[in-house]
Structure 1
Amino acid sequence: MKKLFSLMAIIAIVLSANCSRIEQNDDPIIGIWVEASTLSEESTFKTTVRKEWIFNDVYLGRYHEINGNDITLKTDFKWSQENGIYTVEYRGLEDKPNDMVTIQNNEQGVLLQKTDGDLLAIKE
């Protein structure tokens, strides 16, 4: 009787472990998106400012602002998508408003475009 109970317990464990699969998220926003600009302080000295969004598959991400070689701002964000419009909600930054963007394809590549028409970032 103990063997039968042990066998049934093992079968129940195996079956319950197989039922809890994590659904894979293959949204096209997942990846690294960048905006880079060059600021000229003098004619011979240039500083590059790079903004970087890293979107992951569990609806979270990390945002960086890099000035030259120094990270000047780093924060986490969460993202969601509804009817093709992505909302990026920054955590811990009260002065940074949420971004509402769509994904656009053109000759430059894959772009994140704000709902007001401005370019936010290009996919790396």
Structure 2
Amino acid sequence: MKKFLSLMAVCAIIFSANCSRVEQNNDPIVGIWFQSEAEIISVSSKSTLRKEWIFNDVYLGRYHEINGNNITLQTDFKWSKEDDVYTIEYRGLENVPTDRFKIVKTAEGTILEKIDGDYLAIRE
């Protein structure tokens, strides 16, 4: 009888472990997106500001602003999707507004376009 109960306990553990799997998120937003701007400081030098969004599959991500070779801003964000509209809420940055955008396919590639029509980022 003890062997039967032990076998049942092992089966219950295996069954409960198999039922608790996290579904994989295959959303097209998952990945790295960037925006790059060149700023001319003087005739002989220029600086490049790169903004980078890294979206992961558990509705979180990381945002970087890189000026030249230096990271000038780094924060986490939470993202969500309702219909075709994505929303980013930046954590720890009170002065940065929430971004709302859609994924748009163009001849140049797949881009993130804000709801007002402005360009946000392109897939890396």
Residue 25 of structure 2 aligns to a residue whose secondary structure is coil
What is the aligned-residue RMSD (CA, Å)?
A: 0.5
Q: Which amino acid aligns with 2:30?
A: I
Q: What TM-score do the two structures reach when normalised by structure 1?
A: 0.98
Which whole-Å deviations, capped at 9, do the CAs of 1:53-101 have from their partners, x for residues lacking one? Answer: 0000000000000000000000000000001000000000000000000
3-12 vs 111-120, which moves further: 3-12
Residue identity opposite 1:70 in structure 2? N
- Displacement after TM superposition at 1:52 (Å): 0.2
Q: Does 1:94 align with 2:91?
A: no
Aligned residue in 2 for 1:81: 81
**Corresponding residue number in structure 1 for 2:32:** 32
Task: Tell me how far 1:17 sits from its aligned partner.
Answer: 1.0
Aligned identity (percent) is: 62
For 2:83 and 2:8, locate their aligned partners in 1 and report how far apart those are by CA, in whole Å.
46
CA distance in 2, matches of 1:27, 1:122: 16
Alignment size in residue pairs: 124
Q: Distance in 2 between matches of 1:63 and 1:71?
A: 10
- Between 1:57-66 and 1:13-22, the stretch displaced more is 13-22
State the one-letter code of the partner of 1:117: G
**CA-to-aligned-CA distance 1:5-51 (integer Å, 9 cap, x gap):** 11110111111111111111000000000000000011110100000
Q: For structure 1, list consecutive stretches of 5 or more residues without a partner in the other structure.
A: none
**C-alpha separation between the residues in 2 aligned to 1:116 and 1:43?**
34
